[in-house]
Structure 1
Amino acid sequence: MARKKIPIKKIDNINARQVTFSKRRKGLFKKTQELSTLCDAEIALIVFSSTSKLFEYASSSMQQIIERRNQHSGVQGSDIASTGKQLGSNSFDMLHKEIEDKTHELCQLNGQDLQGLTIQELQKLEELLQKRWITISKIKEEKMTQEINSLKTKEAELTEENQKLKQNFYEQKLVREQCYESITSSSSDFPPDNGSSDTSLKLGLCLFE
């Protein structure tokens, strides 16, 4: 069964356009490299994506190939400046057109300038908004889950620290009670006239223990 031909025109769906660009760019660069290897040709390839990202391939040195091209085509002096101005003007026009397209797409995503769209275009726009909403919802749920887990971890750490402080407090309280009982018992075992020095000694030993 023959493969269905894709019409050569701008792809309206942004996601489909990006996927197609990525796939075809890789194929183009692969074919360029194969041509250079098989035929021992010097090739330079420059590609700017719709988001103004630069992709390039050169079989040797990009700068040397461009200089060789300029020399071969006789582009010298003022001709180079003129060509540069022309390329700059074309790039500016392309960027200006791209900005206008992106601004128009953004307005449509915000619910503006929808009167001239067909039912199919409105349906595509609705599907795009639904996909973005699903993505945003997933990221929001992940952030909330991370925050909840972080709070639970902090709660467990504080609970453990509180238990340690309570245990330490009870142990110190028990030691103080034992020291007090020891002092009281020692004081009752000796006569009043000879008990002051012994009581101090017992108290000192208890505190050092």
Structure 2
Amino acid sequence: MVRGKTVIKRIEDTTSRQVTFSKRRSGLFKKANELAILCDAQVGVLLFSSTGRLYDFSSTSMKSMIERYNQTKEGHQLMSASTESKFWQAEAARLRQQLHNLQEDHRQLVGQNLSGLGVKDLKCLENQLEMSLHSIRLKKDQLMIDQIQELNKKESILHEENKELRHKLNSIRQENVNLQKKVHGQIGVDGGQNSSAIDYNIAVPEEDMTPVRLGLSQAQHVAKEKPEATASG
């Protein structure tokens, strides 16, 4: 049966926590003793339980080990301060030398302080300049290509936007033409109705009624004279 992996977290159950503490404390002291025997080392372990009880293990005298620990720690602190000071001094000197070398290289790259260089050194400097110039040109060409591609993309976008705007403008113009046709057609229909009404009024004037009345009056006069003629005859 495979043993499950123990999750490293605080054990909530008091009994289980105490049992685990006893087992692991014994295992820790056992490992410390083995380390002291196998490696001829001085090992000391101080352990306080959750209840405040002290447990300790020492391959030699615990007091002598604590005194040695304090002396060694103080010596390390003093030594670390002086060592750190020397380290930063050496680091500052190294950085100054590096800065001087960089300044010298820069002056040589711009064509200054070339008197102390031989043919081989000048050839190396020339090759370095050619490589640098080649890298600079490649970088410049790449930047120009990227800018051209970006401009082409912007041009395509602007062309599409212009095409869409032109289509919208044509649609608006067509709507205006259709609206004007509708307005002119309505005006033509209204004008035709008004002209017919005017023609009708002119075709039937009031003066044309007079001859009709005269004709009727003459007919009545003839009708009245005809019996008189008959009587006289």
- 1:190-205 aligned within 5 A: 190=190, 191-192=193-194
| Alpha-carbon distance between aligned partners in 2 of 1:88 and 1:75, rounded to the nearest angstrom | 20
State the partner residue of 1:99. Answer: 99
Counterpart amino acid of 2:129? L
State the partner residue of 1:89. Answer: 89
Measure how far apart 1:75 and its partner are. 4.9
State the partner residue of 1:160. Answer: 160
Measure how far apart 1:125 and its partner are. 0.8
**Structure with more of its chain in helix, by fraction:** 2
- 1:46-125 aligned within 5 A: 75-125=75-125
CA change 1:111–1:80 in 2 (3 A) is: same
SS of the equivalent of 2:131 reads: helix
Measure how far apart 1:77 and its partner are. 3.7
Please, which moves more after superposition, 109-118 or 178-187?
178-187
Measure how far apart 1:174 and its partner are. 1.3
| Alpha-carbon distance between aligned partners in 1 of 2:137 and 2:172, rounded to the nearest angstrom | 52
Would you say how many aligned residue pairs link Structure 1 and Structure 2? 123
| Alpha-carbon distance between aligned partners in 1 of 2:133 and 2:168, rounded to the nearest angstrom | 52
| Alpha-carbon distance between aligned partners in 2 of 1:111 and 1:155, rounded to the nearest angstrom | 44
CA change 1:77–1:174 in 2 (3 A) is: closer
| Alpha-carbon distance between aligned partners in 2 of 1:181 and 1:147, rounded to the nearest angstrom | 51
Q: Alpha-carbon deviations, 1:135-188, whole Å to 9, x = none?
A: 110010011111111112212222221222122112211111112112222222
CA RMSD of aligned residues (A): 2.4
SS of the equivalent of 2:117 reads: coil
Counterpart amino acid of 1:96? R
| Alpha-carbon distance between aligned partners in 1 of 2:149 and 2:175, rounded to the nearest angstrom | 39
SS of the equivalent of 2:114 reads: coil
Measure how far apart 1:86 and its partner are. 1.8
Counterpart amino acid of 1:180? Q
SS of the equivalent of 1:189 reads: helix
| Alpha-carbon distance between aligned partners in 2 of 1:183 and 1:79, rounded to the nearest angstrom | 104
If the length of structure 1 is used for normalisation, what is the TM-score? 0.53
| Alpha-carbon distance between aligned partners in 1 of 2:75 and 2:105, rounded to the nearest angstrom | 40
| Alpha-carbon distance between aligned partners in 2 of 1:75 and 1:103, rounded to the nearest angstrom | 42
- 1:21-36 aligned within 5 A: none
Q: Where does the alignment leave 5 or more consecutive residues of structure 1 unmatched? A: 1-70, 194-209
**Higher-Rg member (1/2):** 2
Q: Runs of at least 4 residues of structure 1 off by over 6 A?
A: none
| Alpha-carbon distance between aligned partners in 2 of 1:172 and 1:76, rounded to the nearest angstrom | 89
SS of the equivalent of 2:111 reads: coil
| Alpha-carbon distance between aligned partners in 1 of 2:151 and 2:117, rounded to the nearest angstrom | 48
If the length of structure 2 is used for normalisation, what is the TM-score? 0.48
State the partner residue of 1:178. Answer: 178
| Alpha-carbon distance between aligned partners in 2 of 1:75 and 1:192, rounded to the nearest angstrom | 124
Counterpart amino acid of 1:145? I
Q: Where does the alignment leave 5 or more consecutive residues of structure 2 unmatched? A: 1-71, 196-233
Measure how far apart 1:80 and its partner are. 2.5
| Alpha-carbon distance between aligned partners in 2 of 1:75 and 1:114, rounded to the nearest angstrom | 52
Higher RCO (C-alpha under 8 Å, 6+ residues apart): 1
SS of the equivalent of 2:145 reads: helix
State the partner residue of 1:137. Answer: 137
